[in-house]
Amino acid sequence: MNILIKNALTILSEENHYITKRTDIAIKDDIIFAIGEIPSDFTPDETIDGEKYLASAGLINCHTHSYMSLYRNYADDLSFSDWLFGKIDPLENKTTPDDAYYGALLSCIEMIRTGTTTFTDMHMFKNMTAKAADEAGMRAVISRGLVGEDENFGGAKRLDEAFEEMENYKDNRRISFMLAPHAIYTCNTEYLKKIIGIAIGENIPLNIHLSETRYEVSESLKNYGKTPTEYLDSIGFFEQKTLAAHCVHLTDNDIEILAKNKVSVSANPISNLKLGNGFAPIPKLMEKGVNICIGTDSAASNNSLNLFRDMNYTALIHKGVNEEAQCVSAEEVYRFATKNGAEALSLYNTGELRVGKKADIILLDLNSPSLNPYNNPVSALSYSVNGSEVDTVIIDGKIVMRKKQLLTIDEEKVYYNVNKIIRRLSK
Ligand SMILES: [Zn+2]
């Protein structure tokens, strides 16, 4: 299908910065076919009047657990261990694959409605996130959370499931995969080494939680005499392309290791703040050239999957804490949430509005107070929008939301089911 967006105010990449201008965008099937001069023989099946829209590349959420939206606003204001082991784990143990599917659909609704076109997911239920993302029309990089190796944790079974899932979706161009050993405190060294070997052998990128809490770091120092980053480096983890989530508690040496190994770091500021863990040292990571992207983490600890909120926190926290208003600019935050996210997920053909890239485009309603006047749309996306301005969403060249109407998901059915599910789980 061919789509023509006429005369939208459009955020375009130019060298290392962004420019905004009124222009036309032609989409041919899943690809941005032309921007500006549209070839005269291009025949659109649908034309969108872009006059009242701001066009941007879709946002990329680099860390979440989408099924966990079932647990939104369920366990708040608790320490990390009371939250996880006291409240969330007991619910997870009762959650069925069908429950997880509805939780993931709920997440897809929220992400599409707030301008996210791609997300990275670490999950527990084979095929369920992939099924939800595929039906929603989203782009997703999915990984089965791998935990332990012994019988209790079913490590071998989970690894098998990860490969079954990859096989089941191998022909789906919107769904790709990583291997995700959950964390160093849930996987032993032998198991981690096994996963590294497989990841390198099969050339599958790795995804892991890293240095989220002070406790994780102190336990690592006690057990291995190394920080979590040093420990992973020592067992060869970073020999494969890695996306590390959180990275809150890092030493200068850890940052050197991450930079040297081209590890991408997904900062999850709201989740980290809410669980009282701190936040990633983004200015220091930037200084060393680490590829930084942004994730929401799950709605059980955020409590939202609206990436604009996390962009806003990312742009603000470091200025306040460092007492330096130039620290982490609006443009840098926008890049974290788009181009850098694409780099972290090896989706090099997304994250920017450029000819030849995938048509993952969001259109925000310019008739919104947060976007007026049109002084600097990139600043607006980092500082003033709240997500409700997102009007139309195109993913892989298909319109999945038109004028705020979701075309791919029966929202009412999802809301009905998630409420029924949580009543049962929390009994
Ligand atoms: Zn996580």
The mean pLDDT value for 329-351 works out to 98
Same domain, 14 and 92: no
Question: Could you tell me the residue range of the domain that residue 270 belongs to?
Answer: 59-344
Query: How many whole angstroms from 425 Cα to the centroid of ligand 1?
Result: 21
Same domain for 165 and 18?
no
- Judge if 178 and 260 occupy the same domain: yes
- Beta-strand ranges (E) seen in 157-236 are 175-177, 180-181, 206-210
**Nearest alpha carbon to residue 136 among 165, 174, 170:** 174
In a domain, 420, yes or no: no
Band (pLDDT 50/70/90 cuts) for residue 150 is: low
- Reduced to 3 states (helix: H, G, I; strand: E, B; else coil), residue 7 is strand
Q: How far is the CA of 67 from the centre of ligand 1 (A)?
A: 12
Task: Locate all alpha helices (DSSP H) within 68-153, ordered by sequence.
Answer: 80-81, 89-94, 97-113, 128-136
Q: Lowest-pLDDT range, 13-17, 254-258, 397-401?
A: 13-17
Summarize pLDDT for 92-120 with one digit per residue, the tens.
999 999 999 999 999 999 999 999 999 99
Query: Is there a single domain that holds both residue 303 and residue 392?
Result: no
| Residue 346 alpha carbon to ligand 1 centre in Å | 19
Question: What is the CA(313)–ligand 1 centre distance, in A?
Answer: 18
- 299 CA from centroid of ligand 1 (Å): 10
The answer to whether residue 149 scores a pLDDT higher than 80 is: no
**DSSP helix/strand/coil, 358:** strand
C-alpha 404/C-alpha 337 separation (Å) is 22
3 state DSSP class of 136: helix
Tell me the whole-structure pTM to 2 decimals.
Answer: 0.97
Average pLDDT, integer, range 396-405: 98
Whether residues 386 and 358 share a domain: the answer is yes
Is residue 423 assigned to a domain? Answer: no
Domain-located, residue 31: yes
* pLDDT score of 148: 78
Res. 364: pLDDT tops 80: yes
Query: Both 9 and 76 in a single domain?
Result: no
CA distance 341 to 140: 12
- For the segment 125-139, the average pLDDT, to the nearest whole number, is 97
Q: Convert the pLDDT of each residue in 179-219 to its tens digit.
A: 999 999 999 999 999 999 999 999 999 999 999 999 999 99
Q: Could you tell me whether strands 2-14 and 59-64 are parallel, antiparallel, or unpaired per DSSP bridges?
A: unpaired
Output the domain CATH number for residue 387.
Answer: 2.30.40.10
In a domain, 228, yes or no: yes
Ligand 1 mean position, distance from CA 209 (Å): 6
Tally of domains within the chain = 2
182 Cα to the center of ligand 1, angstroms: 8
Asked if 51 and 67 sit in the same domain, the reply is no
pLDDT computed for residue 151 by the predictor: 56
Around Cβ 65, how many Cβ atoms within 10 Å? 26
Asked which of 309, 329, 344 is the last residue of a domain, the reply is 344
Query: Residue 110: what pLDDT?
Result: 98
CB under 8 Å to 109, separation ≥6 — which residues?
136, 406, 409, 411, 414
Say whether both 260 and 305 belong to one domain.
yes
Ligand 1 center to residue 122 CA distance, Å?
A: 7
Q: Indicate whether 375 and 320 sit together in one domain.
A: no
Instruction: Give residue 17 CA to ligand 1 midpoint distance, Å.
Output: 31
Confirm if 48 and 105 have CB atoms less than 8 A apart.
no
Q: What is the pLDDT of residues 274-323, one digit of tens each?
A: 999 999 999 999 999 999 999 999 999 999 999 999 999 999 999 999 99
Among 212, 216, 218, which Cα is nearest to 271's? 212
User: What's the CA-to-centroid distance between 271 and ligand 1, angstroms?
Assistant: 9
Residue 21 lies in a domain: yes
Let me know whether 28 and 172 are in one domain.
no
User: What is the band of 152 on the pLDDT scale with cuts at 50, 70, 90?
Assistant: low
In a domain, 374, yes or no: yes
Q: Does residue 392 fall inside a structural domain?
A: yes
Pair of tokens at residue 171 = 């022909």
Residue range 368-372: mean pLDDT, rounded: 98
pLDDT band at 16 (very low <50, low <70, confident <90, very high): confident
Average pLDDT of the chain to the nearest whole number = 96
The pLDDT assigned to 84 comes to 87
Separation of CA 274 and ligand 1 centre (Å):
13
Instruction: Provide the b/e sequence for 235-262 (b: ≥16 CB within 10 Å).
Output: bebbebbbbbbbbbbbeeebbebbbebe
Q: pLDDT at residue 37 above 80?
A: yes
> Which amino acid, residue 186?
T
Q: How far is the CA of 282 from the centre of ligand 1 (A)?
A: 18
Does 237 lie in the same domain as 172?
yes
Mean pLDDT of 152-173: 87
Q: Is 363 inside a domain boundary?
A: yes
- Residue-wise pLDDT for 241-276, tens only, equals 999 999 999 999 999 999 999 999 999 999 999 999
C-alpha span between 348 and 340 (Å, rounded): 9
Closest residue by Cα to residue 112 from 141, 138, 132, 142: 138
Task: State whether 128 and 236 are in the same domain.
Answer: yes
Q: Cβ atoms within 10 A of the Cβ of 45, count?
A: 9
- Residue 154, pLDDT score: 65
